[in-house]
Amino acid sequence: MGMAGRMAMARMMARCRGLLVVMEFMAHVRVSASSITGRDGEPAVRRIPRDAPGQLRVFPAEQRPPPSSAAVALPVIDLSAPRDEVRRAVLEAGKELGFFQVVNHGVPEQAVRDMEACCEEFFRLPAEDKAAFYSEDTDKPNRLFTSTTNGTGGERCWRDCLRLSCGFPVAADAKNAWPDNPDGLREAMERFIAPTRALGMELLRLLCEGVGLRPDYFEGDLSAGDVVVNVNHYPPCPDPVRTLGLPPHCDRNLITLLLQGSVAGLQVSYRGEWIRVQPVPGAFVVNFGHQLEIATNGLLKSVEHRAAANAAVPRTSVATFIMPTDDCLVAPAAELAAGGGGARYRAVTFREFMRVYKTVGARRESVEKAFKI
Ligand code: OGA
Ligand code: NI
């Protein structure tokens, strides 16, 4: 972002802060006395769809989302622009915000539409049809689960999630491990994953060129692990003021490509505020995971984000994560460490990273404490 861009952003953020204050005040006026007490102790699968919530995670007041805040548009980068321009835009947005959106990204519209439609249809299935897929085993690559309980003592946020994984290219046995109901989900996933992964790899090449790494730096083990897709489903929530769909977290992977759908909900941490990401039809939201932060020695950061729940409409988002292999040793690139006053992160295998991430939790501060030198 140039000087002018930065100033515009600062002005926008100042306006946003002003609005936030007003909205917070309204929130106080509007908070109802309703409490969420679900039937706890049910088999978890009965909570899908979540017409009767279990123990809902209630956040302390200062951590709750304002019911409404200024929508700040992330930079929208047109990938059909001249490559030099795109490289500059991706790097500037990446360094400033760690988040941006891309359009004209080369993933066919039909592939996106089919994937979104099948995912929405999956969550509309009756609970019995989804039950076979339900699992709380975090090591299972393909499963349905209801939010996460990391470090909360059992309370859950307002999200159900269908996780689908595969190697690349997609092997037949990987595909057969995905749900066969609704019809066509497996094919939609297969047709979606190839161009979406290719988009991620292209963005990584652009970022490499931008930061001064060889363009294929991320081509090997750093990106050869599973491609993981989280289909997040946020049913209408009876008390969106006191909880969240997804708590604040950073992504664990290399790079994330998110289809937000048409319902807003994603919020990104920016200079101490949460900014709402305005959905742009057909766009992917792109952000960096911890592995990219480590590999670039902190030049590109894994930024905290969260998803708000809403009372009115269901929301389904599709997040695609590119991962290193388990054995991959992730370390700051020598050329970036040398220019940046030495390595700022310790080298770690992705397997070991995941082990620690699962215990310390996904907040940026905890992950930094564990891996930053
Ligand atoms: C994720 C994520 C945000 C959203 O799946 O990691 O951050 O808007 N999702 O659903
Ligand atoms: Ni995320």
**Has residue 342 been placed in a domain?**
no
**Has residue 331 been placed in a domain?**
no
Domain of residue 244, CATH code: 2.60.120.330
The residue range of the domain holding 174 is 8-326
**Has residue 370 been placed in a domain?**
no
The 76-78 sheet, strands edge to edge: 76-78, 99-103, 284-288, 255-259, 315-322, 227-234, 160-166, 143-146
Tokens of 343: 């390595």
Q: For residues 189 and 96, which has the higher predicted lDDT (pLDDT)?
A: 189
51 has a pLDDT exceeding 50: no
**Has residue 372 been placed in a domain?**
no
Q: What is the pLDDT of residues 332-344, one digit of tens each?
A: 999 999 987 899 9
Q: What is the pLDDT of residues 202-218, one digit of tens each?
A: 999 999 999 999 999 99
**Has residue 336 been placed in a domain?**
no
Ligand 1 nearest-atom number relative to CA 287: 7
**Has residue 226 been placed in a domain?**
yes
Report the alpha-carbon distance of residue 365 to residue 150 in Å, rounded: 15
Report the alpha-carbon distance of residue 319 to residue 186 in Å, rounded: 16
**Has residue 32 been placed in a domain?**
yes
**Has residue 333 been placed in a domain?**
no
Q: What is the pTM of this model?
A: 0.82
Number of independent structural domains in the chain:
1
3-state secondary structure of 90: helix
Which of 163, 256, 302, 367 best tests ligand 1's pocket when mutated (most atoms within 8 Å of CB)?
A: 256
Q: Residue 260 C-alpha to ligand 1 middle, in angstroms? A: 8
Q: For residues 197 and 22, which has the higher predicted lDDT (pLDDT)?
A: 197
Q: Span 24-52, mean pLDDT?
A: 27
Q: Span 126-135, mean pLDDT?
A: 91
Ligand 1 nearest-atom number relative to CA 317: 10
Across 191-308, where does the E strand assignment appear? 227-234, 246-249, 255-259, 266-270, 273-277, 284-288, 305-307
Ligand 1 nearest-atom number relative to CA 230: 5
Name the pLDDT band for 45 (thresholds 50, 70, 90).
very low
Name the pLDDT band for 176 (thresholds 50, 70, 90).
very high
